[in-house]
Amino acid sequence: MSILIDEKTRVMVQGLGRDGSFHARQMKDYGTSVVAGVHPGRGGSVFEGIPVFDTADEAVGKTGAQCSVLFVPAPFASDAILESANAGVGLVVAVTEGIPVLDMSRVAQELDELDTRLVGPNCPGLISPGKSKVGIMPGNIFSRGPIGVISRSGTLTYEVVNQLSLAGYGQSTAIGMGGDPIVGMKYNDYLVHFERDAETELVVIVGEIGGTDEQDAAAFIGQHVTKPVVGYIVGRSAPPGKRMGHAGAIISGADSTAEAKVNVLREHGIPVADTVEQIVDLVAAGLGG
């Protein structure tokens, strides 16, 4: 098992520009069931054996796509998310970086009324190793196993996963939930799925400065998660008021510091690693107990 995506998930790629084309091929090579491309003006063509449509509606109607991964440029991305959602796609993964926050607020309100879940934006996507990859992660560093991973970052996720894989701890599903102030699903939404997933035995959450999602996760884990959880928070050395790359990674109050997040996780009995290497030790301990 795994969560949200597996080998049967029918995936369409929105936006076949340079990045979209490259990663459509990468995903297909990984084994993802890529059934359609959507690119206005290129309907009727075929890319790498994948039929391309002008609109999401057509793509869903003709191919039964259930999941869309978005490489649409930021000015048009929020509309493209809503296009997929309104076409009946159940899971939208927005890789696009730089979407205005008020656009995302409007998207979030509308998604509440639809039956669509959103991963991202500004995220590397998600992967169920050996089954399906929807996003831009390097597939070869992932391996199949019992660890669920939820992270706000990209390369840091790879770093963490690489160390887990090398130590023999494969992953059921690994998710980069996105580095923006407003993202679709958050830790708690994923934790619900991991808690129910028979393959997942332990969840690693990788957090950072900004917002209070990690605090919400700590409280949620205390009440609703029986599986062991290991935490890791970055940005302990970040100055307040400065944006650390990610639009959402900015310390704007006492609650959004790394220190506050580490403390709350520990108060809820969740072990927190000081370095990436320590995550592996804490995972070993968590599985052993």
Partner 1 sequence: MKLEEFQAKKLFREHGIPAPDGVMVTSAADGKTAALALGCPVVVKAQVKTGGRGKAGGVKLARTPDEAFSAADSILGMDIKGFRVERLLIDPAVPIAAEYYVGITIDRKRKIPVMMVSASGGMDIEKVAAETPEKIHFQPVHPERGLRFFEAKKLAFRLFSDSREVMAAASIMVKLWKCFNDLDATLAEINPLARLEDGSITALDAKIVLDDNALYRHPGMEELRLPTPSEKKELGAKSHGLSYVQLEGEIGCMVNGAGLAMATMDVIKHLGGTPANFLDIGGSSNPEKVVHAMELLVSDSNVKAIFINVFGGITRCDDVANGLVQALSGIDLEVPMVVRLTGTNEEEGIRILAGHGITALKDMTRGAAEAIRLAREGSVGR
Show which residues are catalytic.
246
User: Within positions 169 to 208, which residues make up the interface with partner 1, using CB under 8 A?
Assistant: 179, 181-182, 206, 208
CA 122 to chain centre: 9
The amino acid at residue 233 is: I
Rg of the chain, C-alpha, whole Å: 18
CA 36 to chain centre: 21
CA gap 212, 192 in Å, rounded: 18
Span of 38-46, 126-134, 190-198, 234-242 interacting with partner 1 by CB under 8 A: 234-242
Which of 16, 81, 141, 164 touches partner 1 by CB under 8 A?
A: 141
Beta-strand pair 202-208/229-234: parallel
Q: Which is nearer to partner 1, 55 or 162 (CB)?
A: 162
Q: Which is nearer to partner 1, 46 or 101 (CB)?
A: 101
Give the contact letters, 144-163, x = binds to partner 1 (CB under 8 A), - = no.
-------xxxxxxxxx--x-
How many positions of this chain bind partner 1 (CB under 8 A)? 61
Give the contact letters, 235-274, x = binds to partner 1 (CB under 8 A), - = no.
xxxxx-xxxxxxxxx---xx---x---------------x
Contact flag: residue 4 with partner 1 (CB under 8 A): no
Confirm if 39 and 16 have CB atoms less than 8 A apart. yes
Strand, coil or helix: 113: helix
Which of 10, 25, 42, 106 touches partner 1 by CB under 8 A?
A: 106
Q: Which is nearer to partner 1, 182 or 229 (CB)?
A: 182
Helices 155-166 & 276-288, crossing angle to 10 degrees? 50
The set of residues, in sequence order, having a beta carbon less than 8 Å from that of 253 and lying 6+ positions away, is: none
User: Within positions 213 to 232, which residues make up the interface with partner 1, using CB under 8 A?
Assistant: 213, 216
User: Within positions 56 to 85, which residues make up the interface with partner 1, using CB under 8 A?
Assistant: 74-75
Phi-psi region of 48 (alpha: psi -120 to 50; beta: other; left: phi over 0): left
Phi, psi of 70 (to 5 degrees): -105, 125
The residues that touch partner 1, with contacts defined as CB under 8 A, are: 26, 74-75, 98-106, 108-109, 136-138, 140-141, 151-159, 162, 179, 181-182, 206, 208-209, 211-213, 216, 234-239, 241-249, 253-254, 258, 274-277
